[in-house]
Structure formats: C-alpha cells, structure tokens
Amino acid sequence: MRQSQLFTKTQKEAPADEVAKNAKLLIRAGFVDKLQAGVYTYLPLGLRVLKNIENIIREEMNSVGGQEILMPSLQPKENWQTTGRWDTMDDLYKVIDISGRENALGPTHEEIVVPLVKQFISSYRDLPFATYQFQNKFRMELRAKSGILRGREFIMKDMYSFHRNETDMIAYYEKMKGVYANVFERVGIGATTFLTFASGGSFSKYSHEFQTITSAGEDTIYICDKCRVAVNNEIIEDQKHACPECGGKNLRAETSVEVGNIFELKTRFSAPFNLSYKDEDGKDQSVVMGCYGIGLGRVLGTVVEVLGDEKGLVWPDAISPFGVHIVELGGSGDDIVRKESQKLYDELISKGIEVLWDDRDLRAGEKFAESDLIGIPLRVVVSSKTIASESFEIKNRATGEVSLVGKDELMAMCKAK
C-alpha cells in the first residue's frame, strides 16, 4: 500500500492521560482509536495486525479439528436465566428493546453454543467435536484499564469442545495446551509466556492460563524455570507455593497478563440445557465440555508491551501489518527515485509480500521517525544515494542494524507469509 493513500496519520506525542505503553504507541502510530474507556476502533494498520493474529489462531484451532462458526452478540435473557447467570454475572450488559424484551450482549457464549449443538447431538457417534468463533465480547468492567489490555468490548476467540466423558475431554484439553503454546510462540511472545495453573472454580481443581510476563499485567505468577510452568498467585495458599509438576519450591514471582485460558467445563453448562447423548447401551449421558479462550486485542497489546521500545512499535514478522516498509527519499513525479521505488514495490508485491511504501513528499527525518514508530520489521531506503551505489539500505527494526544489500540479497530476505 502506498502510504500517501493511508487515511490515518501518526502523532508526535501521545495523549497526556495515557500511561499504558500499548495505548500510547498504538494511538500515536494510528493503529487504534479510543472511542471510550475500554472501547477501541481498529484502524487499517491495527486491523492488519489483529487479522494476522486471528489467522494464526484459526490455523491452530483448525489443526485440532475446530470448526469455525459465528454466533450472535444479542442473546435472549431466557438462555442466561437457564444457567442462572442472568442474575449472578455482575458484568453482564443487559439491553431492553422497544417491546420490553430483554437481551444480554454476550460476554461469552456457553449459553448460546450449548442449545445450538443440542440440535445436532443425539448419539455417542456424534462426539467428540469442537467449534469456535472470533466474536466481540461485552463485559461491563467496572474499571477498564491498561489501554487495550482490559476492555469492555473486545474480540475473543472462544472454542468449545464436546465429549462423551471426562477422559476424552481431558485428552483434548491436554492437546489444547500444546496448541495454545504454538499460538503464543507464533505471535512472538513464546519466550515470556508460561502455562499457569489457576483456579478451577467450583467444578475442577485447576484451570490453565497462559500468562505473559509484563509489568503492564495485573496478575502475579510464580514461575518454575525447570518445568517452564507457573502458578497463579490466586491459588497460592498460606504463602506455600510449589511447582505442581515437580514439586520444586524454587519459584520466582513475576507480574504478568493472562493472554489465554483453557477450562474444564465438564457438565456445568450441558446439565442446565440437558445436553446429552445416548451411549452404546441406549442410555442417556451428559455431554462433557471444555472451553478455550484467547483475547485477540489483549494479545496484540501484550506484544506491544513486550516488544515495543522508546522509538515505537516493534512487530514480529508473523503479525506485522506489512512485511517491508519502503522509505523513498526525495522521490517525486517520475524521477529516478520514484521509478526505482515503484519497481521494487512491484517486485515485492508480485512475490506475495505485503509492502507499505512511503511515497510521501516529506523530509527524511520525519519519514524515519514514523517508520520506527510504525514498527515494520524491515525498512528499505530508496534514495539517490542508494541508487548511485546500486544497492538498497536496509534496517532491521528490532535490532536497529543497518546495512547495504544488493537487489538479489534483498529479495531473498523477503519471504511471503
């Protein structure tokens, strides 16, 4: 995309009242816009990142047989009364229409997915399976905070799995641990993300969270470096914390943010909706469920918190809004710089690489500063100097390393996603 066509602009300064690094940088760089506390618009650059994260998650969910659907946000009160959560869930948004009918704006979708799949499950032969969606969730957080890390409306991937018994559910649940680890590895926060033992609520000993170390987080976890797992502070009793895997006591405390979680629902939701199947003996059995969530915006914000630096955003290749940022210096009309830029742009595009081309008539300093702020992994400068030397100047955003390379070398460095 030609940057001159991009309708958003960067800002030199962050809004005075923002403290969170993710909010400051994402707003300055024009990736998001805040409509109200905890409610954000994703602008073209930000949406590209969000969609890249979404696609990685989609691939991983599909890899374990997840079938994608899309359920509504507007959900009838009756479904929520069936599980009792119409009254017990404090952060439920409730809306009333002109006829007096009440609905919830979905904060999660157990109340919808269970009656949905009930239509299709009758025999043990129909199990197991898993279905998921990417959907806006609404939660009336009393205090939205930390930029996009804790919002009132946010996009979440929620998957639900359905099984004949606990053994089967647990086997799938265990598989999901690996799948989740893949997701966080691929989006670029694998090194600082830990499988964490957390509260299981009233119907399971533990749930598991994926916690990423960052001072912007609001949780405290105790990490066992030997096992690469952690324990959430919420389940530590009497200051006694030991690694649930090896029993080791040598844990280190870190502040972290929960980027995903997996939960054994068992029959918590199948029971109230009478979700059952007939086993081989023709007897009715309750369907056993698991659920698995990842907040996309929170993942995006966490990447910014972990990787962003004093100059701006720093995107990993896998989720960057563009693969390459061409910065043309001094080009205009049909001069040589513009022509060379166009040529490079066309070649990269034809290789399937996504390119942002800064074709604007601005001074070098401004373009460099903005390029650093936007944070595309590879910057390529095209100027009269580089043309004279028959090379391109490349800069690695993450390391700051600058070098001159020939066309072939440059093309070899750029790979399509």
Partner RNA sequence: CGGGGUGUAGUAUAUCGGUAGUACGUCUGCUUUGGGAGCAGAUAGGCCGAGUUCGAUUCUCGGCACCCCGACCA
Three-state DSSP at 272 gives coil
Cβ(149)–Cβ(301) under 8 Å?
Answer: yes
Q: Give the whole-angstrom CA distance, residue 380 versus residue 53.
A: 25
157 is a site residue for RNA (CB under 7 A): no
365 to 384, contacts with RNA by CB under 7 A?
Answer: 365-366, 368-373, 381, 383
Using the minimum distance from each CB to RNA, give the nearer residue, 277 or 303.
Answer: 303
CB of residue 304 vs RNA: minimum separation in angstroms?
Answer: 14
Q: Among 191, 246, 253, 364, which residue sits at the site for RNA (rule: CB under 7 A)? A: 364
178 to 207, contacts with RNA by CB under 7 A?
Answer: 201, 207
Q: Give the whole-angstrom CA distance, residue 129 versus residue 162.
A: 6
Q: Among 52, 73, 161, 386, which residue sits at the site for RNA (rule: CB under 7 A)? A: 386
If phi over 0 gives left and psi between -120 and 50 gives alpha, with beta otherwise, what is residue 188?
left
| Closest by Cα among 83, 126, 413 to 278 | 126
Q: Give the whole-angstrom CA distance, residue 80 versus residue 114.
A: 12
146 is a site residue for RNA (CB under 7 A): yes
Stretch touching RNA by CB under 7 A, among 59-67, 188-196, 313-321, 356-364: 356-364
CA dist list (Å): 16 to 20, 76, 104, 163, 280: 11, 41, 35, 51, 65
Cβ(266)–Cβ(114) under 8 Å?
Answer: no
Other CB atoms closer than 10 Å to residue 281's CB: what's the count?
7
9 is a site residue for RNA (CB under 7 A): yes
68 to 97, contacts with RNA by CB under 7 A?
Answer: 90-91
14 to 53, contacts with RNA by CB under 7 A?
Answer: 14-20, 28, 34, 36-38
CB of residue 181 vs RNA: minimum separation in angstroms?
Answer: 17
Structure tokens at 310: 């004093």
Q: Among 109, 163, 325, 395, which residue sits at the site for RNA (rule: CB under 7 A)? A: 395
Local structure of residue 193 (DSSP, 8 states): E
Stretch touching RNA by CB under 7 A, among 13-21, 44-52, 73-81, 247-255: 13-21
Q: Among 115, 190, 248, 330, which residue sits at the site for RNA (rule: CB under 7 A)? A: 330
- The residues near 409 (Cβ < 8 Å, ≥ 6 apart) are none
Amino acid identity for residue 114 in this structure: V
Amino acid identity for residue 188 in this structure: G
Structure tokens at 378: 């590879």
143 is a site residue for RNA (CB under 7 A): yes
Using the minimum distance from each CB to RNA, give the nearer residue, 171 or 402.
Answer: 402
311 is a site residue for RNA (CB under 7 A): yes
Structure tokens at 377: 């992994």
Stretch touching RNA by CB under 7 A, among 71-79, 98-106, 123-131, 364-372: 364-372
Q: Which residues bind RNA (CB under 7 A)?
A: 9-20, 28, 34, 36-38, 90-91, 108, 139, 141-147, 150, 201, 207, 218, 261, 263, 291, 293, 311, 329-330, 361-366, 368-373, 381, 383, 385-386, 393, 395, 402
